[in-house]
Amino acid sequence: MRIAPRAYLFPVLFLIAGFLLAGCGSDHRFVKKTAFQDTNAITIEFAGPVEGSWATDKSNFTVYEKPDPDIQLIIEDIALGPDKRRVTLTFKDDLNQDQPHVVTTTDIRSERRSLRPAILTVKKLYLGHLLSIFIGAMIISNFVFTKYLGLCVFFGTSQRKSTAVGMGITFTMVIVVSAMMAWFLYQFVLKPYRLDFLQIVVFIGLVSLSVQAVDTILRKVNPALFKAFGVYLVLVIANCIIIAVPLILADNEYNAFESLMLAVGAGLGFLIALFLMSSVRERLDLANVPPTFRGLPIAFVVAGLFALAFLGFSGMSIF
Amino acid sequence: MPATTKNSFQLVSNGILNENPIFRLALSMCPAVGISTTVMNGVLLGIAVLFVQVFSSCTIAAIKNYIHPRIRIPTYTLTIATWVTVIDLVLAAYMPTAYKEMGIFVKLIVAFAIITMRLETFACKNSVQASFWDGIGMGFGFMFGMMALGLVRELLGMGTILGYDVLGFRPLLFFVLPAAGFFCVGLMMGLFNYIELTYNRKKKGT
């Protein structure tokens, strides 16, 4: 008997939702919620009122970023809400909210009772974190205009809009496949066996392998699509972005979802860059460009203007 | 292309002038735009590229008779990746500050089109010795291109050369901005085109 595909849908969605929401829970029974506030504050919400003398004493809290527990962050001020359930820790410097922070307290004192000490993790909503990686890779630190990678292919294929879109889509497909494979190999083979130094060799091999695999599969499964996009597959391997993404996700120790978001963001960001550039270059063909600047030089100047425009996105944080 | 008949001097000058990787072949533009803010960066990345180019050219030239034509591209890629790993680990161990400044670009030498292209068009048809000189030429060509870009950007942006204050003021702070790399490359390419055009016109006139 075949089970209708829809029957799978709800359990799977439920699992994903459960996984994503699991990030918001706290680790202590008396603590209801922890969250970042503004750029330099953390709020902790308790289930009942806490004693003012305990809550406003700076020595009762130690805060550090999860990856480096040695560096304690300096708390400048502690404020207790009027209902005594909400404590706001203000810090001297801005917090790096992409990293989870750990707040350790001494025994929590509430209504003259002493409760056991709490170790709390403060992090952004997981979905928001994923989305910020995605938007970051796509626009804020666009690989072409703010990281200056993949320029050879970028200038080579941005002459016509149709070519640009074809290249962008092919590139996105290949980069998602190869980034996921690179993540798997790095987490389960290279890291456990301490073969980190082979990163470059393994990743470049993997990229050529996935280009070949996409080529073969597409040829059999969807010949029409292959006819449209097959020519760009060879060019994908000459693009630095495709080798930069596995290196970045290995450096940052991203998990599977984060890696997927980075790869999709990088691919779509390249597509956006190609499309913008090709729109301008189609118009440039009609313009009266001085002979010395015809071709590549004027394309570089245009790309420089785009890069200046993309500079405006820098430092933006959405979630 | 049959085996080359040029001597070593011609091979080196060919890489630096006639087929300069940055301004003539317009290959490996990413580092030219990305980290050409100072002369020093250009020198360091130039040394790394020179090393990788020379050693992979020699390796491929030495084993060219044992490579099956169908798997030659993967062989090139793996050879380059091996040498890039070597230089990457060496730089990380002995020059940590400079390595940090160059960031991911050292690892990305593996994807530079110029090196694969030299292996494909030159090293797999020539002797080890000729490939060595060709690699030297291409590496120095790349280094000089990067240094020229770095010189313009450092002088115009910071008023310094190699960290020494030359002008005493900062003419155009804009050139230090990362985005100015595009402008700088575009303008210099335009300049080279202009020189070539006027040169050809003069030649025609006389």
pLDDT, tens only, A35-45: 787 778 888 88
pTM of the model: 0.77
What distance in Å separates the CA atoms of residue A194 and residue A263, rounded to the nearest whole number? 25
Q: How many helices (H) and strands (E) does chain B have?
A: 8, 2
Give tens-digit pLDDT for B33-91. Answer: 878 878 888 888 889 999 999 999 999 999 888 888 878 888 888 899 999 999 999 99
Measured distance CA(A154)–CA(A83) in Å, rounded: 58
Cα(A74)–Cα(A61) distance, rounded to whole angstroms? 10
What Rg value do the Cα atoms of chain A yield, rounded? 25
Binary contact (A243, B34; C-beta < 8 A): no
ipTM summary value: 0.84
| A223-236 vs A161-185: helix crossing angle, rounded to 10 | 70
The pLDDT assigned to B85 comes to 92
Q: Does B89 touch chain A (CB under 8 A)?
A: yes
Task: Look at residue A118 and give its three-state secondary structure.
Answer: coil
Task: State the smallest CA–CA distance between residue B35 and chain A in angstroms.
Answer: 9
Q: Which helix (H) or strand (E) holds A154?
A: helix A151-156
Close Cβ partners of A198 (under 8 Å, ≥ 6 residues apart): A190, B85
Burial class (CB in 10 A: 0-12, 13-18, 19+), B79: buried
Residue B101: how many CB atoms within 10 A of its CB? 16
- Which residue in chain A is spatially nearest to B113 when comparing CA positions? A238
Most confident option among A39-53, A208-222, A224-238, A254-268: A254-268
Question: Of A166, A146, A311, A112, which Cα lies nearest the Cα of A241?
Answer: A146
Q: What is the mean pLDDT of residues A151-158?
A: 84
What SS3 state is found at B161? strand
A298: contact with B, CB 8 A cutoff: yes
- Sorted by sequence, the CB contacts under 8 Å of residue B115 that are 6+ apart come out as B49, B52, B53, B56, B80, B109
Q: In what order do the strands lie in the sheet with A75-80?
A: A31-37, A41-46, A86-91, A75-80
Of B79, B110, B116, B142, which to mutate for an interface test with A (greatest number of A Cβ within 10 Å)?
B110
What are residue A140's phi and psi, to 5 degrees? -65, -45
What pLDDT, on a 0 to 100 scale, did the predictor assign at position A253? 85
Q: With contacts defined as CB-CB under 8 Å, which chain A residues touch B73? A: 208
Q: How high does pLDDT run on average in chain A?
A: 82
Can you read off the two tokens belonging to residue B149? Answer: 């870009």
Q: Please tell me whether residue A269 adopts helix, strand or coil conformation.
A: helix
Interface check A300 vs B, CB under 8 A: yes
Contact call for B185 and A300, based on CB within 8 A: yes
Kind and range of the H or E run holding B118: helix B113-118
* A chain contacts of residue B112, beta-carbon cutoff 8 Å: 240
Closest CA to A42 of A83, A100, A84, A82: A100
Specify which of A84-88, A285-289, B20-24 reaches the highest per-range mean pLDDT: A285-289
Q: Tell me the chain B residues in contact with residue A303 when contact means C-beta distances shorter than 8 Å.
A: 182, 186
Give pLDDT, residue A61: 83
Mean pLDDT of A280-300: 88
B195 interaction partners in chain A (CB closer than 8 Å)? none
What distance lies between CA A72 and its chain's CA centroid?
A: 26
Give the amino acid at B194: Y
pLDDT in tens, B93-115: 998 888 888 878 888 888 887 88
When CB atoms are compared, the residue of A200, A298, A301 closest to B81 is: A200
Contact between residue B48 and residue B109 where contact means Cβ atoms under 8 Å apart: yes
DSSP three-state, residue A51:
coil
The amino acid at residue B138 is M
User: By three-state DSSP, how is residue B88 classified?
Assistant: helix
